[in-house]
Each structure stands twice: as C-alpha cells, then as structure tokens.
Amino acid sequence: MDFRFDIIWDYAPLLLKGTLYTIAISISSILLGSILGLGVSFGKMSSRRFLRWPMQSYVNFFRGTPLLVQIYIVHFGLIPLLYGKTNALIAAITALSLNAAAYTAEIYRAGIQSIDKGQMEAAKSLGMTHAQAMRFVILPQAIRRMIPAFGNEFIVLVKDSSLVALITAPEIMYWSNAMKAQYIRVWEPYLAAAFIYFVLTYFLSKLLAAVERKV
Amino acid sequence: MKPIIEVTELSKAYGDNVVLKNISVDIDSKEVVVVIGPSGSGKSTFLRCLNLLEEPTGGNIAIEGKSLMDKSTSITKIRTEVGMVFQQFNLFPHLKVLDNITLGPIQIRKWPAQKAKSKAMELLDKVGLADKANAFPASLSGGQSQRVAIARALAMEPKIMLFDEPTSALDPEMVGEVLAVMKELAKEGMTMVVVTHEMGFAREVGDRVIFMEQGYIVEQGTPEQIFERPQQERTKAFLSKVL
C-alpha cells in the first residue's frame, strides 16, 4: 500500500479552510447552546408546570433522537421555513446549538442542584431575589463544578460537527469527502481528517484542563 | 410602643405533619428572646417562618406592622431588615471574607463599594477578624466562620437578627467566641430571636425565654421564671435533662 502525502498536500489549503469552519461552527454552537441551555435548565427546574413541561420535552426530544436526524430536520425543514431557502452553515450551527442546549441544560441542572441549599437560604436571608441569588451566589459556585462536564460536551460537539458535512457545510469532513471523490482513495482523506480532529480535541482537552486548574 | 414582631396564631404543616400549632407571640424592639426546647419541637421552623424561609400554612406574621402574608408586602425588602445566622454558617465559599460581607450592601442596598468596604472592615474589627478580610471561608475555623456570618448579616444594618442554633455546629472551645459577639450585640440594643441549646446564654442574655415542645409554646417568661420557677411539668422535665 502506498500512502500519497502529495494529495494531502494538494488538499491542505482546503482542509485548513475546513478546519477553520469546524472551529467556527463548534465555538458558535457551544456558545449559543450554553446560553440557550441555561434558559432550558431554569425552565426545567421551574415550579411552574407550563415552563417545566415544554423544557422537559425539549430535552427529551434532543437527547432521544439522532443528531443527524435533527440536522436534516433543521436544514431541510426549519431553515427554509424561517429563511426562505437552505443555508448549510446556518443550519449546521442551529442544529448543533439546539442539540448542545439539551445536554448543557442537564449539566447546569446537575451543577446548580449540587450546591447546598443553605447557600440559597443565606442569599435570600440577605434580601436577594431568586435571580440575584443565582447570579451572585449559586452560579459562580456551580459553574466551577460544571467545567469538566462542559469540557466533555465541547469535545463531543467538535467531533459531532463532522456530521454537518452531510448537508454540505464546508468543514473538515466535507473536504475529506471531496478529496476521496476526486482521487478515489480512502486512506489519505479520512486519516487526514482523523488526524485534524484528534489535534483539535487534544488541544481542547489541554486547554480545558488549564481552565479547570485556574478556577 | 407597638411590637416589632407580631406573630398571630401561626401554624405550619408539612402535609399531615403539623410542626407549629397556633403560635402567638409579640416581640418588642431591642428585646432578646431565646427559644429553647427539645429537637423537633418546631423552634427552628418558627424562627425560619419569621423571614419566610418557611412558608406558614396559617396565621399571620407582621414585622414593623407589615404583614408577611400580604401579597403587596415585598418579602425581599423585609429580609433586608431581618438578618439571619445559620447553624451551618452558609458563608459563600467562592468569595473572600470581605466580599461575603460587602455582597449584600453593594448588590441589594446599592452602596458604593468604598462605603460597603469600610463598613465591612468596621464589622470585622468588631468580631475580631479584621486580619481575615482577604481569607477565603475554607481557611477559617468554625468559630471564625460564624463570626464572619454574623458580620455579613449585620452589614445590611438589620433591625432584627435571627440566630438558628448558631453554636450547635461548633467545637466546644469555639462556642464562647461566638456567644461573646452575640452578647455584645444584645448589649447594643439589637432585637434578637435566638434558637439555642446554650442555657447559660439564655439565662444571662435573654430578656425572655420561650420554651417550645411539639409545636406549641409551652411556657414563656423571664430567664428567672423559666429556669428557677418553671410552672409547667414539661418545662421542668426538659430543664432537668439539659441543666
């Protein structure tokens, strides 16, 4: 078996471009997903049933159906419905964000509920509203405990973002597929993709470990 | 003068479990009321009803004439006037001692940071912990933690202080330092409601002692009346066990 580094070299500019897309899609999705997930988790923990029930269903749906199916629903259904036409990049970020929101919502909930209830009582006894107590007392403590789980979620999201190649978002996997089609070769495109993903997640895990040590 | 706290036929139940039964008591401004009784007597629940950490199931509580049951009463506003000290301290572990104390005044009272800080330093000095301003709660002993918790509550300049078994989680050698701070506070004229097992404190500092059992106020009176001449058999039985 010969391994043709030269075709990887030919494709390097496109793979690099794809890598930047993967990074951009992942960062946007984790940010949007985390913000959305915070809202979902508050809804889920609410004592009001009309808030709790829809948010519980949201989490059940996004955890209970395959990400690829969600990507297709968003790409071929939701985005054309809202936007008038398809857009792979917007669909990719939307689907990954919605999915991440369901998982991060559970991370928030577990983190918040792990804080001793005396903390909320102490905050309230000072005269804080529930929102102030969350912001100044509960969340700063809970977030520290959430960092490892968030790290996992972030790494999973980077890898799962490869699925959006199937709706032609021009990220790493998309260009690997293109390379395979052009040269009719299997090892070079996919090992190159695997290598890039590995480098990304490896550095991400190092970065997260550093963050964890710092806070 | 009108009592600062008026409790009228207060009751509290968790499902079928009734823990407070028709409690009525008035507390005057500057009065130090000590609540004693066996565990499970409802004394902590009673105290926690006074700032609505527990929602009463019946009756009324009024603080400075404002009913806590009234929907138009801002409970967060009332709580700024009613400080609370907990058995487990409940300091905010992510904040330094100084920031634990200034958080309330800055975020709730909207004081400028400098004013809150100088008030906090003044209070830390008062509880003897000025040198711990930049320490984190995890590095404090139990007695130090509780003194910081008292300073934190006082920083809001409350009119009433509630103490929920403030020395029960402390090692014996640290009880004294916390009681000393509370004694000082009583001397300054703070209105205090103290749930405690420290009978010495009740006797020395209390203006009035309330004995509770099984959700009722069994007997109340001056420390002399309760400790020297208790009228009720149940009070006598309890005191014979703890004294």
Which pLDDT score is estimated for B147?
98
pLDDT at B105 over 90: yes
- Here the tokens at position B116 are 């809150």
Which pLDDT score is estimated for B150?
98
Helices H / strands E in chain A, number of each:
10, 0
- CB pairs under 8 A, 24+ apart, for A210-214? A211/A147, A211/A151, A212/A147, A212/A148, A212/A151
- Here the tokens at position B140 are 């404090």
- Here the tokens at position A30 are 């984790």
CB nearest B90 (choices: A118, A128, A144): A118
pTM, entire model: 0.84
CB nearest A128 (choices: B76, B88, B90): B76
Give the span between the Cα atoms of B236 and B219, in whole angstroms. 10
Give the span between the Cα atoms of A101 and A96, in whole angstroms. 8
> Which SS3 state, helix, strand or coil, does residue A147 take?
helix
Could you tell me which residues come within 8 angstroms of residue B152 by beta carbon, excluding any fewer than 6 positions away?
A: A126, B91, B100, B101, B103, B104
Which pLDDT score is estimated for B236?
96
CATH code at A103?
Answer: 1.10.3720.10
Which pLDDT score is estimated for B115?
97
pLDDT tens profile B14-71: 999 999 999 999 999 999 999 999 999 999 999 999 999 999 999 999 999 999 999 9
Whether residues A126 and B77 touch (CB distance < 8 A) is answered with no
Which pLDDT score is estimated for A215?
76
Give the span between the Cα atoms of B185 and B21, in whole angstroms. 31
pLDDT at B243 over 90: no
Whether residues B77 and A127 touch (CB distance < 8 A) is answered with yes
Which pLDDT score is estimated for B1?
76
- Rounded mean pLDDT, B125-130: 96
Amino acid code (one letter) for B94: H
Instruction: Please give the span between the terminal C-alpha atoms of chain B, in angstroms, as a whole number.
Output: 35
- Any idea what DSSP says for residue A184? T
Residues in chain A: 215
> How many domains does chain A contain in total?
1
The closest of B47, B52, B5, B56 to B159, measured between CA atoms, is B5
Would the CA dihedral through B233, B235, B238, B242 be positive or negative?
Answer: negative
Best of A117, A121, A126, A214 to substitute, by most chain B Cβ atoms within 10 angstroms, is A126
Best of B54, B90, B148 to substitute, by most chain A Cβ atoms within 10 angstroms, is B90
How many Å is the maximal CA-CA distance in chain A? 73
Distances (CA, A) of B59 to A54, B56, B168: 36, 7, 30
- Any idea what DSSP says for residue B35? E
pLDDT at B158 over 80: yes
On the CB side of B189, CA atoms within 13 Å amount to 2
Q: Which helix (H) or strand (E) holds A206?
A: helix A187-214
Q: Domain span at residue A149?
A: 5-214
Low-confidence ranges of chain A (pLDDT < 70): 1
Distances (CA, A) of B30 to A165, A176, B88, B176, B191: 73, 78, 26, 22, 4
Give the span between the Cα atoms of A201 and A72, in whole angstroms. 25
ipTM of the shown complex: 0.94
Does residue B35 contact residue B46 with C-beta atoms inside 8 Å?
A: yes
Does residue A200 contact residue A208 with C-beta atoms inside 8 Å?
A: no
The closest of A22, A1, A6, A7 to A174, measured between CA atoms, is A22
Nearest CA in chain A to B154: A126
Whether residues A136 and B51 touch (CB distance < 8 A) is answered with no
- Rounded mean pLDDT, B123-149: 97
Nearest CA in chain B to A116: B90
Whether residues A116 and B90 touch (CB distance < 8 A) is answered with yes
- Here the tokens at position A51 are 């808030």
Taking contacts as CB-CB distances below 8 angstroms, the residues of chain B near A137 are 92, 103
Does residue B151 contact residue B119 with C-beta atoms inside 8 Å?
A: no
**Average model confidence (pLDDT) across chain B:** 96
Helices H / strands E in chain B, number of each:
9, 10
Residue with tokens 């609370």: B84
